[in-house]
Amino acid sequence: MKKLFGLLFVLSAVPAFAQAPNSPVTYVFTNLPLWDVSGTYTNQIITNVFVDVEIVHQFPDGTLHGSRFALLDGDVDHNLQCIGPTFGKVTSTPTGVKLRSKWCATLAGAVSAIPIRGEVILLDETGIDPLSLSIVEVNSKAHTHFNVPGFGLGFVSSPPIPLPEGMNGDWTLDIDIVAEGNRLEGYGTITLSSGRELDYEVTGIYDPQSQSSKLKFVADRNAAGSSLSLTIQGPEMSLTHLRGRILGQKLGFPLKGDL
């Protein structure tokens, strides 16, 4: 397993010994992943039989909102369309990152010239596979109701769906803080591998005896619902402790295997 590493790029002079940190720094994370599934997905299982297009946005608190369109069995005799909103949540567990979503759709169309109308509720549980960089199906349940007695739909398992381009879980944290005595103030930005940024105001306290600084991140609007705090050590601003919940995922450093 790769080890987490933090690369420090100090862009101004290193602070004098026993002084509060007072310079920009960048931390790069490669084994403490942050996943963002925001994007547009198209999944065509069999030509002219099932085409599924889903637009998803993942909020900083892990909430998922979006819309989904499906064309079912689009041949001459069968022409059914499902469309409706999706809602869900991203969470993390010791075994990985899980996505749970609910699709509430209306169905309309015709089968052999018979008008079909109805409702479809699809409950999906999926996960993120960090090796294939894809979303994989874990469990799926469908509830349907149609105006034609005896009419039903057969749902097939979805193959793995690639994550949005560039999303590999890596991320960086840029901090720019200024010391006023032992009080610290500044700004921080998380940049995901997709290029998406989350911004924070940073406040903190420096302890001259231990030469450690405790920093708290207050989310700006584009990061609302997320949280982050960390401890840095010495004039090198070495990261010693990190806790947070971002995009629905719980973050912790040091990793258990590094303790």
How many domains does the chain contain in total?
2
Q: Are 192 and 226 within one domain?
A: yes
Q: Are 76 and 158 within one domain?
A: yes
11 inside domain? no
103 inside domain? yes
* Tokens, residue 184: 């610290």
Q: Are 142 and 178 within one domain?
A: no
* pLDDT tens by residue, 69-100: 988 765 556 778 899 999 999 999 888 999 99
At which of 103, 129, 162 does a domain end? 162
Residue 6 banded pLDDT, cuts 50, 70, 90: very low
| Distance between first and last Cα of the chain | 15
61 inside domain? yes
Domain extent at residue 206 = 24-34+169-258
Predicted confidence (pLDDT) at residue 257 exceeds the cutoff of 80: no
Which residue type does 26 have? T
Contact 158/129 with Cβ under 8 angstroms?
Answer: no
* pLDDT tens by residue, 199-228: 999 999 999 999 999 999 999 999 999 999
Q: Are 146 and 45 within one domain?
A: yes
Q: Output the pLDDT for position 8.
A: 37
Place of tokens 């699709």: 103
Q: Are 77 and 136 within one domain?
A: yes
Q: Tell me the whole-structure pTM to 2 decimals.
A: 0.85
Contact 110/118 with Cβ under 8 angstroms?
Answer: no
Q: Are 89 and 112 within one domain?
A: yes
Nearest Cα to Cα of residue 60 among 168, 196, 186, 167: 196
Average pLDDT (192-197) is 97
Nearest Cα to Cα of residue 137 among 129, 145, 147: 129
Q: Are 62 and 123 within one domain?
A: yes
